[in-house]
Amino acid sequence: MAAKISRGGNKLEFIDLKKQYELMKAAVDSRIQAVLSHGQFIMGPEVKELEDKLAVYTGSQHAITCASGTDALMIALMALGVGPGDEIITTPFSFIATAEVISVLHATPVFVDIDPRTYNIDASRLEEAITANTKAIIAVSLYGQCADFDAINTIAQRHSVTVIEDGAQSFGATYKGRRSCNLSAIGCTSFFPSKPLGGYGDGGACFTNDADLASKIKQIRVHGQDRRYHHPMIGINGRLDTLQAAVLLAKFECFAQEVEARIQIGNRYSELLAGAVVTPFIEPHNTSVYAQYTVQVDDREMVQSELKKSKIPTAVHYPVPLHLQPAFATLGYKAGDFPISEAAARRVISLPMGPYLSKSDQRAVAEALIEATALKTLAAR
Ligand SMILES: Cc1ncc(COP(=O)(O)O)c(C=O)c1O
């Protein structure tokens, strides 16, 4: 039986960006209008204003915006001089961008399985994957919770390897009181619209406390140029549009409140769903921004189709671990190589989430999910 949902006719969105826009319309519209009026669409003043604010927020000395989270990761690797022959250790349980950028630069992704409770790379398995060719580790802070950066940094230092945080999903989260993206040599994030801080198009940023890396990142973002038409290194066209910076500045005004709301909504889901499904485990020293609120269920296909009957949208982050993606077939991995990631990929399901998710909608989602998992239990009897 489909759970009853009453929302006065409004469709429940997986992430409700329209509602957010309604609430921030005045600020967003006026910021956009300002850009249309001054006309500096490339590297306009909003870009620097945003970078200053992002640096203060994360506590990083340098925040360098760029065109996407993928570009942030690629620029970070380019700034480290990554190329053919280099090995980059990362997690197989992430969005493809994390490992894709390694292959784009003709370096080799080396996967290490995850911690089954946090879904983040298992620091205790890192050392066995490090070789003389290892240049960097990209640790992803998945679903909005930071990986264990103290442990990762300690191991990396021992082997002179650089640590990059893929904080595409964790901007705003804290690890031992410190902000995501300021936990390792370079932090990278994404401003994809559905991310905790999202623009109205693609966007991203790199963060670092190393002045030399910051200057390389800035050059790489603009075709490797140090001054107009002088190119000491190879770079890309990786700038953030001024219009996106303007949107992000408007949204940033409410970001702290939104992070608080996300935490409360995440905690509430966990209370409502306790005992029915495997709810997210958040380390006591972490706060999660719940970019995704993701649980584990036994029969995901059935649960997803039951929720669909109740008009509840869900998503799977991610159904195929990276080592089993055809694009990485040449790396030579096979099923069974990373059993924890593979099990997670079979069982995870993400629920509607966002800072403006109403209590009644949340309750309806939880009730429908509990009902769907109970069906599974009944069927098993
Ligand atoms: C973990 C992770 N890394 C990297 C990216 C890439 O970010 P973007 O879509 O902004 O290129 C994403 C975005 O989906 C992501 O979730």
pLDDT tens digits for range 154-205:
999 999 999 999 999 999 999 999 999 999 999 999 999 999 999 999 999 9
On whether the CB atoms of residues 138 and 164 are closer than 8 A, the answer is yes
Output the six-digit token pair for 103: 């292959």
pLDDT exceeds 60 at position 329 = yes
Higher pLDDT, residue 378 or 354: 354
pLDDT of residue 379: 63
pLDDT of 9: 55
Ligand 1 environment, Cβ below 6 A? 68-70, 94-95, 97-98, 140, 166, 168-169, 190, 192, 202, 204
The single residue listed with the structure tokens 């009730």 is 367
Q: Give the Cα separation of 258 and 81 in Å (integer).
A: 37
Give the Å distance between the CA of 357 and the centre of ligand 1. Answer: 23
**Residue 19 reports pLDDT greater than 90:** yes
**pLDDT digit string, tens, across residues 255-291:** 999 999 999 999 999 999 999 999 999 999 999 999 9
Atom of ligand 1 nearest to the CA of 142: 1
Per-residue CA distances from 16 to 144, 165, 193, 272, 356 (Å): 18, 27, 10, 21, 7
pLDDT surpasses 90 at 342: yes
Give, using CA atoms, the residue closest to atom 10 of ligand 1.
Answer: 69
Q: What is the Å distance from ligand 1's center to 142 Cα? A: 10
pLDDT of 221 over the 70 cut? yes
Distance 152 CA to ligand 1 centre (A): 21
Average pLDDT over residues 108-134: 98
**Residue-averaged pLDDT of the chain:** 96
CA-to-CA distance for 40 and 24, rounded, in angstroms?
23
pLDDT-derived band at 1 (thresholds 50, 70, 90) equals very low
C-alpha 296/C-alpha 210 separation (Å) is 39
Q: How many other C-beta atoms lie within 10 A of the C-beta of residue 319?
A: 12
Q: Best mutation site among 94, 190, 206 for ligand 1, i.e. most ligand atoms within 8 A of its Cβ? A: 190
Range from 10-14, 49-53, 212-216, 353-357 carrying the lowest mean pLDDT: 10-14
CA of 178 to the centre of ligand 1 (A): 22
What's the pLDDT at 11? 87
pLDDT of residue 231: 97
Q: Could you tell me the pLDDT band of residue 2, with boundaries at 50, 70 and 90?
A: very low
286 C-alpha to ligand 1 centroid (Å): 21
Give residue 95 CA to ligand 1 midpoint distance, Å: 6
**CA–CA separation, 47 vs 246, rounded Å?**
8
| Ligand 1, atom nearest to 169 Cα | 16
Amino acid at the residue 179: R
Torsion angles phi and psi, residue 362, rounded to 5: -65, -40
Which atom in ligand 1 lies closest to the alpha carbon of residue 191?
10
Q: Which of 66, 68, 70 to mutate to test the pocket of ligand 1 (most atoms within 8 A of CB)?
A: 70
Nearest CA to ligand 1 atom 12: 168
How far is ligand 1, taken at its centre, from the CA of residue 69, in Å? Answer: 5
Nearest to 45 by CA among 229, 339, 243, 280: 243
Distance between CA atoms of residues 325 and 338, nearest Å: 13
User: Which backbone phi and psi does 87 adopt, to 5 degrees?
Assistant: -110, 135
Closest CA to 73 of 192, 239, 174, 190: 190
Ligand 1 closest atom vs CA 140: 1
Query: Which residue, by CA, sits nearest to atom 13 of ligand 1?
Result: 168
CA-to-CA separations, 205 to 59, 86, 266, 277, in angstroms, rounded? 14, 24, 25, 35
Instruction: Say if residues 310 and 337 touch (Cβ distance below 8 Å).
Output: no
- The whole model's pTM is what? 0.96
**Local confidence band at 375 (pLDDT 50, 70, 90 cut-offs):** confident
Model confidence at 339, in pLDDT bands (50, 70, 90)? Answer: very high
206: tokens are 């790199």
One-letter-per-residue 3-state SS of the chain: CCCCCCCCCCCCCCCCHHHHHHHHHHHHHHHHHHHHHHCCCECCHHHHHHHHHHHHHHCCCEEEEECCHHHHHHHHHHHCCCCCCCEEEECCCCCCHHHHHHHHCCCEEEECCECCCCCCECHHHCHHHCCCCEEEEEEECHHHCCCCHHHHHHHHHHCCCEEEEECCCCCCCEECCEECCCCCCEEEEECCCCCCCCCCCCCEEEEECCHHHHHHHHHHHECCCCECCECCCCCCECCCEHHHHHHHHHHHCCHHHHHHHHHHHHHHHHHHHCCCCECCCCCCCEECCCCCEEEECCCHHHHHHHHHHCCCCCECCCCCCHHHCHHHHHHCCCCCCCHHHHHHHHHEEEECCCCCCCHHHHHHHHHHHHHHHHHHHHHHC
Q: What is the pLDDT of residue 6?
A: 47
Whether pLDDT at 380 is above 70:
no
Q: 97 CA to middle of ligand 1, Å? A: 6
Cα-to-centroid distance, 5 and ligand 1 (Å): 32
Q: Identify which of 95, 189, 197, 202 to mutate to test ligand 1's pocket (most ligand atoms within 8 A of the CB).
A: 95
pLDDT band at 374 (very low <50, low <70, confident <90, very high): confident
Is the confidence at residue 3, as pLDDT, over 80? Answer: no
CA 270 to chain centre: 20
